[in-house]
Amino acid sequence: MGKTLFEKIWAPHVVRELPDGSCLLYIDRHLVHEVTSPQAFAGLRQAGRKIRQPALTFSTMDHNVPTTEDRMEIKDPISKAQVDALQQNCDDFGVKLFGLGDDRQGIVHVIGPELGITLPGLTIVCGDSHTSTHGAFGALAFGIGTSEVEHVLVTQTLIQKTPHTYRVEFTGRPGPHISSKDMVLKMIGIMGTAGGSGHVLEYGGEAVRSLSMEGRMTMCNMSIEAGARAGMIAPDDTTFDYITGRRRPYAPTGEALDKALAHWRSLPSDLDAQFDQTLTIDTNRLPPQVTWGTNPGMVVDVDQPVPAPDNARGYSPSDVKSALDYMGLSPGVKLTDVPLDVVFIGSCTNSRIEDLRQAAAILDGRKKADHVELLVVPGSQQVRLQAEAEGLDRIFKAAGGQWRYAGCSMCLGMNPDQLSPQQRCASTSNRNFEGRQGKGGRTHLVSPEMAAAAAVAGKIVDIRKWLEA
Amino acid sequence: MTPFTVHTGIVATLDKANVDTDAIIPKQFLKSIKRTGYGPSAFFDWRYLPDGTINEDFELNHPRFKGRSILVTRNNFGCGSSREHAVWALVQDGYRVVIAPWKEMEGNRLPGFADIFKNNTTKNGMLAIELSEADVNDVFDMVAAHTGLTATADLQAQRIIFHAPSPRSFDFEIYAGAKEQLLNGLDNIDLTLQYEADISRFEAQYDPLDPNS
Ligand code: SF4
């Protein structure tokens, strides 16, 4: 029987099987950020341990950092203490840090790929659930807790049960202005936020093969929102072109690259490979997706009304009612009728150069609505520099938007970028949980183009019709 | 780590599915570089009113749940962010056991807990028990009917008994490795370091860019 992409990566990484049937899995890349690492480093100090493979460990500051001009001066003393702790820990333990002020700094899931740290066939972990992003390269990448961060620092391994496999096939060709964000939101709507639990998703099909690396990263990024352990896409020429098309300091070159390419080309799932579960989604005529509730599975086609409490598949009436109350919505309302206060374009889901290009194409020559605040936050300083070289920053500013420095920003509002209570936001991020973008804030997840159009219209629009009008 | 063998305590209910880790411990508390001090902030946005006083309407604030250490909730508890702070907050707020139902959906069984959250519980001496939806419904009814209802979770026996006037007991499943770790309060790192020689041998022959060579 043939093997899946997942199986082809898993097997060579098993150091040994353990008596209880789990595996000791070798980890190729360990990404570290300031929020989930301090207690792990403290554990190392307490036990007098060292990092086993500092050269396989890479670190950045993203969650707490301000994104304004004066960002080098972190005014919140507690945020500053956390950022300073990471600096100290990286110095003490010999870990490479892309810190604030470094032009390679950015959201951990944006800089990994752009620096060539993320490569096909690797196992990649980080104390962050959106580590699933890196699966877009045909890597096995997943989020871990802080105790596991410490475990990887000390042993370069993790104890893992073998997950199940789940193939999601996106057939057809989505129409213009329909992105991988819409595809993956549709999927989460179908599967629910626990539908992928215990599984590694592999995305395939014509609609996935034709996605850029940025589009694939958006898709894999959201795997965790379906509860999946990881999401992955088989590497192909799009992947290899991304890795070799420009200088990526940690990617192999020359002979090492040739050898790697031969291996990478052997990774895609065999035609007769078996998956534990499968799902097929037709993307022909897929409408733009918008979330209406307080988790990413509470999502509708943009032209459909918000459901009634007794009529939302997979959710109890009381959960729907409490979500609608929190969101300030009534059953039957169309999201295209509800005014917005804020539009956020950013996060590890949608802050890469292609996302910004798509948003800029909509905003070019247009202005945001007066009552809307528009925040554009590039995922990394590299993205920021490239966007500026392409003149995208001028488009955002001319449209009335704020052009920021790299960081997680309003995706979770650990820094000063937060929604106020009851502010309504169209956001390109990944979580519409209660309070996620600021206590009492109301989040509608959308694609970058939908977010840009919403900023102009002052409310969510069906981009397909809006552009025609 | 504190071993988990047998625990008896008051049962409290939280009637909500898909409780995410942002709700269990909001972001502002993630700035701490310590492992302690999270207890009073568990469920912060639900637990307190904007002026900082107790929100009497929040289920877990009900006086009948005073002194509770067993939490019963709905499906997919702990979804979202990987933050271990969520488990630290629950443990430091006095919870030793959390119970959630698996859910049958179109022929698939969706687990009661999100994967990363469940991993994190084991590493912090907290027992996460999955029961069927029907059984958890019964537990909700029992708790509603009997103020101060207690239960005893026996990990070795893989059984939890609710001490209602007519007691109910439920058997539960747990992965062998997690059970052993909890029973003995084992530290995973110590465990793995026993295999240090295997790791070294592996590293000596291993090329991540061509692992099959
Ligand atoms: S952008 Fe948001 S989801 Fe991504 S790593 Fe930062 S906080 Fe997490």
B17 closest CB neighbour out of A121, A129, A316 = A316
Cβ contact, residue pair B175, A20, below 8 Å: yes
Mean pLDDT computed over A265-272: 98
CA dist B44 to A331, B39, B40, B48, B53, Å? 28, 10, 8, 6, 11
In this structure, the strands spanning A442-445 and B97-101 are unpaired
CA distance B165 to chain A (A): 29
Residue-wise pLDDT for A4-28, tens only, equals: 999 999 999 999 999 989 999 999 9
Predicted TM-score (pTM) of the model is 0.97
Residue A57 beta carbon below 6 angstroms from any ligand 1 atom: no
Flag whether the ipTM exceeds 0.85.
yes
| Sequence-distant (≥ 6) Cβ neighbours of residue A398 within 8 angstroms | A367
Can you point out the beta strands (E) in B14-82? Answer: 68-72
DSSP A121-164: T-EEEESSGGGGGGGGGT-EEEE--HHHHHHHHHHSEEEEPPPE
Report the half-sphere exposure of A84 (CA within 13 A, side-chain side): 10
Query: Binning pLDDT at 50, 70 and 90, where does residue B107 land?
Result: confident
| Binary contact (B17, A315; C-beta < 8 A) | yes
Domain boundaries, chain B: 6-205
Restricting to A residues 328-367, those with a Cβ less than 8 Å away from any Cβ of B are none
* pLDDT tens for each residue of A213-260: 999 999 999 999 999 999 999 999 999 999 999 999 999 999 999 999
Of A461, A448, A423, which is closest to residue A178 (Cα–Cα)? A448
Q: Residue A352: its pLDDT value, please? A: 98
Q: Residue B212: which pLDDT band, with cuts at 50, 70 and 90?
A: confident
Return the DSSP state at B29: G
Span A315-332, pLDDT tens digits: 999 999 999 999 999 999
Residue A157 CA to residue A52 CA, distance in Å, equals: 10
- pLDDT more than 70, % of chain A: 100
- In DSSP terms, A394 is beta-bridged to none
CA distance B162 to B150: 6
User: CATH second-level architecture of B6-205?
Assistant: Alpha-Beta Barrel (3.20)
Chain B residues within an 8 Å CB radius of A20? 175-177, 180
Q: Compute the distance between CA of residue B213 and CA of residue B205 in angstroms, rounded to an integer.
A: 9
Read off the pLDDT band of A469 (50, 70, 90): confident
Strands (E), A130-261: 140-143, 157-160, 164-171, 199-204, 230-233
DSSP 8-state code for residue B87 = H
Q: What is the DSSP string of B57-73?
A: TSGGG-GGGTTEEEEE-
B6-31, pLDDT tens digit by residue?
A: 999 999 999 999 999 999 999 999 99
Question: What whole-number distance in Å separates Cα of residue A386 and Cα of residue A366?
Answer: 22
Residue nearest to atom 2 of ligand 1 (CA): A411
Helices (H) and strands (E) in chain A, counts: 16, 19
In this complex, the residue of A22, A127, A414 whose CB is nearest that of residue B27 is: A414
Q: How many Cα atoms within 13 Å fall on the side-chain side of residue A90?
A: 22
Q: Give which of B14, B27, B36, B200 to mutate to test A binding, by max A Cβ within 10 Å.
A: B27
Cα distance between residue B183 and residue B156, in whole Å: 8
A322 with B108: Cβ contact below 8 A: no
**Least CB-CB distance to B45: which of A49, A295, A434?**
A434
Ligand 1 touching residue A107 (CB < 6 A): yes
